[in-house]
Amino acid sequence: MNNETVLTATDLARHYPIAAGAFKPKLSLKALAGASFTLQRGKTLAVVGESGCGKSTLARLVTMIEPATSGSLVIGEEDIATASLKALAHLRPKVQIVFQDPYSSLNPRQRVGAALEEPLLVNTDLNASERRARAQEMMSNVGLRPEHFDRYPHMFSGGQRQRIAIARALMLEPDILVLDEPVSALDLSIQAQVLNLLTELQERMNLAYLFISHDLSVVRHIADNVMVMYLGRPVEQGPAAEVFANPSHPYTQALLSATPVADPNHISERVVLKGELPSPMDPPSGCPFNPRCPKGFEKCYADRPILQNISDNVAVACHLFD
């Protein structure tokens, strides 16, 4: 299994202009800034953060639903960051996505078989029986009975629908699969089934995963590398094992300590953050984390820290490490 790099992102940013009223200058909502990372085949990069951290924006940029405002995003050989969406049509088969909510990510009026065949219908010139054969093969790959081909989505459970969504994403044999909280809406026992399925498919098809989640116990299990985000910017980045063993950024530490541990004997030294998640429309000055940071000092209110390496593999954006 090779680990070639299939995606390189450098300083990706996405701003949205917001109208503030007829006579005021336009505000700019910085949903994402300064994101740099790579994706390799057979490896999983987990993006971790809470509401407003920019992880959904990142997913939309990588799947080419929206163009970036600046930065570069190289998929294969091409830099697509600011290209128009028409020019990207031929790259679509390389990056596919699985959404969080299994109940709204399948077309309620489309039979499951037709949903699986549609990517082939639109992108290839296979005939009807070839498409059907491929779709049925993919259904068994994800653990569904091929007889369910003609069923509608509402006749399946949440876990089964998520399998269908995964099957649909894999129909075009992509290099990269973006998984936007794929198991958050599922029960624990179904979550385990779907995670196992994802692991198995990654090995079999040598896929690169961009795994977005807020559930750190899942991320710990499945991620090779992790990128922790806060208010649109990465604050800590590196191999998952190192970041979880020795979290450096105060936010990472708070996040890890806030995650409940399923062990009644575990005494949690809880770092409970005060305050609310800030709104991206009105970010604090200096380091965006400073209102809630238990270790803030004067420099934090004035300057925004930049992401820099504190060891071979781990990068942190925090003045404590300047």
Q: Which of residues 274-303 bind other proteins (CB under 8 A)?
A: 276-277
CB of residue 309 vs other proteins: minimum separation in angstroms? 26
Structure tokens at 263: 């062990």
9-48 binders of other proteins (CB under 8 A): none
Nearer to other proteins, 20 or 261 (CB): 261
Q: Which residues pair with residue 28 across a beta bridge?
A: 17
Nearer to other proteins, 27 or 146 (CB): 146
243-272 binders of other proteins (CB under 8 A): 254-255, 257-266, 268, 270, 272
Tokens 């990068």 sit at which residue? 315
Q: Which residues pair with residue 177 across a beta bridge?
A: 96, 209
Non-local (6+) Cβ contacts of 122 within 8 A are: none
Interface residue with other proteins among 54, 71, 119, 280 (CB under 8 A) is 119
Non-local (6+) Cβ contacts of 25 within 8 A are: none
Interface residue with other proteins among 196, 246, 285, 311 (CB under 8 A) is 196
CA distance 319 to 322: 5
Nearer to other proteins, 26 or 270 (CB): 270
| Residue 122 φ/ψ region, left for φ over 0, alpha for ψ in the -120 to 50 degree band, beta for the rest | alpha
44-103 binders of other proteins (CB under 8 A): 50-51, 63-65, 89, 92-93, 95-97, 99-101
134-153 binders of other proteins (CB under 8 A): 140-145, 150-152
CB of residue 162 vs other proteins: minimum separation in angstroms? 12
Non-local (6+) Cβ contacts of 94 within 8 A are: 6, 75, 76, 174, 175, 176
Binding window for other proteins (CB under 8 A); candidates: 6-14, 32-40, 74-82, 195-203: 195-203
CB of residue 279 vs other proteins: minimum separation in angstroms? 9
Binding window for other proteins (CB under 8 A); candidates: 1-9, 67-75, 184-192, 306-314: 184-192
Tokens 């109940």 sit at which residue? 103
CA distance 184 to 20: 35
CB 177 within 8 A of CB 40: no
CA distance 318 to 288: 10
Our finding on whether 224 is near other proteins (CB under 8 A) is: no
CB 39 within 8 A of CB 6: yes
CB of residue 36 vs other proteins: minimum separation in angstroms? 23
Interface residue with other proteins among 46, 47, 165, 210 (CB under 8 A) is 165
